[in-house]
């Protein structure tokens, strides 16, 4: 009877940890909901009313403004439910955080890594965790369970808006990815895809080189579904050009929430 929260820079993701979740098994998260910040007051109270039981406690990760965190804490408090925010730790659930300053790592990235590690550690392969949210993050976990580091770049929406805001002539573009775009809109969209795909491919190839085996590539984040088809085509094209096998993508929508659920299970059984 617990609430899980992943508060990102664009949307708040909420879920409910089912009563019958079996320790050691992937958590069964129900009533999942994602809502943009502006809709939160209306949506959150409505969502709380749909829950089958009164929540007793909540665990969350947040990388957004403290006003949102405070709102969530206060609202849950009025329902008699206490909310604890978790930060990145040096170690949890068999995963080691390689960041130089442990808590500088976004709590949402840490939670997603914990979710990925719990699900795929049995593969004994490097993991590349690609988060396509407000920002894009590309995090590598070694086969023995250390987060060795990761890239942060603007997400696709941020890239589109940054070009429009930072220049006189560029619009907020809509178009398609092309090899040799011949107009502004397609030029921008093609550049954005090239940047996202190029960064992803770079980290995958680095992982392959470093560990001598292809990283298991897990993709998450709200921006991914709109990108998926084009990114898959681009990845295939680029790896073919390089004479490499194309990485297989494993999409997992709510990996951060799942990581939070694992943390909650661990604290319940400690
Ligand atoms: N209904 C929606 N509202 C806002 N963003 C959405 C929506 N559906 C998809 N998106 C895309 O998902 C991204 C946010 O994904 P999400 O994983 O929730 O990010 P964050 O964790 O940074 O809040 C947005 O940048 C946007 O590209
Ligand atoms: C990198 C992020 C902005 C990603 O946030 P998101 O796109 O999920 O909203 C967030 O994880 C963050 O603020 N991290 C702190 C800095 C770091 O992880 O190094």
Mutation test of ligand 2: which of 113, 137, 147, 154 has the most ligand atoms closer than 8 Å to its C-beta?
Answer: 137
| Residues 110 and 233 reside in one and the same domain | yes
Domain range enclosing 149: 91-251
Indicate whether 206 belongs to any domain. yes
| Residues 39 and 60 reside in one and the same domain | yes
For residue 36, give the ligand nearest its CA. Answer: 1
> Which of 87, 106, 122 is a domain's end point?
87
> Per the annotation, does 106 bind a ligand?
yes
Q: Which atom from ligand 2 is nearest to the alpha carbon of 9?
A: 9
| Residues 76 and 97 reside in one and the same domain | no
> Per the annotation, does 239 bind a ligand?
no
| Residues 157 and 69 reside in one and the same domain | no
Indicate whether 260 belongs to any domain. no
Active site residue 144: no
The confidence score (pLDDT) of residue 1 equals 79
Residue of 108, 144, 179, 183 with catalytic role: 108
Kindly give the distance from the C-alpha atom of residue 10 to the centroid of ligand 1, in angstroms, as a whole number: 6
The CATH number of whichever domain residue 112 belongs to comes to: 3.30.420.40
Kindly give the distance from the C-alpha atom of residue 134 to the centroid of ligand 1, in angstroms, as a whole number: 6
Indicate whether 267 belongs to any domain. no
Q: Dihedral sign for Cα 87, 90, 96, 99, please.
A: positive
> Per the annotation, does 136 bind a ligand?
no
CA-closest residue to ligand 2 atom 10: 106
Indicate whether 265 belongs to any domain. no
Q: Which atom from ligand 1 is nearest to the alpha carbon of 134?
A: 22
| Residues 140 and 97 reside in one and the same domain | yes
For residue 253, give the ligand nearest its CA. Answer: 1
Indicate whether 268 belongs to any domain. no
Indicate whether 259 belongs to any domain. no
Read off the DSSP letter of residue 9: S
Indicate whether 19 belongs to any domain. yes
| Residues 82 and 14 reside in one and the same domain | yes
Indicate whether 234 belongs to any domain. yes
Q: 36 in ligand 1 pocket by Cβ < 6 Å? A: yes
The confidence score (pLDDT) of residue 26 equals 85
The complex scores an ipTM of 0.98
| Residues 140 and 55 reside in one and the same domain | no
> Which of 56, 87, 118 is a domain's end point?
87
Q: Dihedral sign for Cα 181, 162, 169, 172, please.
A: positive
Count of other CB atoms within 10 angstroms of residue 18: 16
Kindly give the distance from the C-alpha atom of residue 76 to the centroid of ligand 2, in angstroms, as a whole number: 25
What's the total number of domains in the chain? Answer: 2
> Per the annotation, does 12 bind a ligand?
yes
| Residues 75 and 9 reside in one and the same domain | yes
> Which of 60, 87, 114 is a domain's end point?
87
| Residues 132 and 54 reside in one and the same domain | no
Instruction: Note the pLDDT tens digit of each residue in 208-257.
Output: 999 999 999 999 999 999 999 999 999 999 999 999 888 999 999 999 99
| Residues 226 and 193 reside in one and the same domain | yes
| Residues 69 and 10 reside in one and the same domain | yes
In order, the DSSP letters of 153-190 are EE-HHHHHHHHHHH-SS---------SS--SHHHHHHH
In tens digits, what is the pLDDT along the chain, a chain of 270 residues? Answer: 799 999 999 999 999 997 766 766 789 999 999 999 999 999 999 999 999 888 989 999 999 999 999 999 999 999 999 999 999 999 999 999 999 999 999 999 999 999 999 999 999 999 999 999 999 999 999 999 999 999 999 999 999 999 999 999 999 999 999 999 999 999 999 999 999 999 999 999 999 999 999 999 999 999 999 999 999 999 999 999 999 888 999 999 999 999 999 999 888 766
**CB crowding 191-217: b at 16 or more within 10 Å, else e:** ebbeebbebbbebbbebbeeeeebbbb
Kindly give the distance from the C-alpha atom of residue 154 to the centroid of ligand 1, in angstroms, as a whole number: 13
Q: 152 in ligand 2 pocket by Cβ < 6 Å? A: yes
SS3 string, 207-234, reads HHHHHCCCCEEEEECCCHHHHHHHHHHH
For residue 10, give the ligand nearest its CA. Answer: 1
Beta bridge partner(s), residue 59: 4, 84
| Residues 79 and 193 reside in one and the same domain | no
């Amino acid at each position: 009877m617990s609430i899980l929260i992943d508060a990102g820079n664009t949307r708040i993701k909420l879920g409910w940890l089912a009563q019958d979740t079996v320790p050691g098994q992937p958590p069964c998260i129900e009533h999942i909901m994602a809502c943009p910040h502006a809709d939160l007051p209306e949506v959150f109270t409505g969502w709380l009313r749909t829950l089958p039981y009164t929540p007793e406690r909540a665990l969350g990760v947040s990388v957004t403004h403290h006003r949102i965190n405070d709102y969530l804490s206060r609202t849950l408090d009025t329902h008699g439910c206490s909310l604890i925010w978790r930060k990145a730790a040096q170690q949890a659930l068999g995963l080691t955080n390689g960041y130089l300053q442990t808590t500088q790592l976004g709590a949402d990235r840490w939670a997603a890594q914990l979710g990925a590690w719990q699900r795929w550690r049995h593969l004994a392969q490097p993991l590349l965790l690609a988060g396509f949210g407000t920002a894009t993050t590309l995090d590598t976990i070694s086969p023995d369970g250390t987060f060795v580091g990761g890239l942060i770049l603007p997400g696709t929406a941020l890239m589109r808006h940054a070009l429009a805001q930072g220049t006189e002539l560029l619009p907020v573009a809509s178009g398609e990815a092309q090899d040799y775009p011949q107009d502004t809109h397609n030029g921008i969209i093609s550049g954005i895809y090239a940047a996202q795909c190029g960064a992803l491919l770079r980290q995958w190839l680095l992982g392959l080189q470093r560990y001598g085996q292809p990283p298991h590539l897990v993709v998450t984040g709200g921006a991914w579904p709109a990108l998926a088809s084009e990114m898959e085509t681009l990845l295939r094209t680029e790896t073919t050009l390089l004479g490499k096998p194309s990485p297989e993508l494993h999409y997992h929508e709510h990996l951060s929430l799942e990581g939070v659920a694992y943390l909650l299970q661990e604290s319940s059984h400690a």
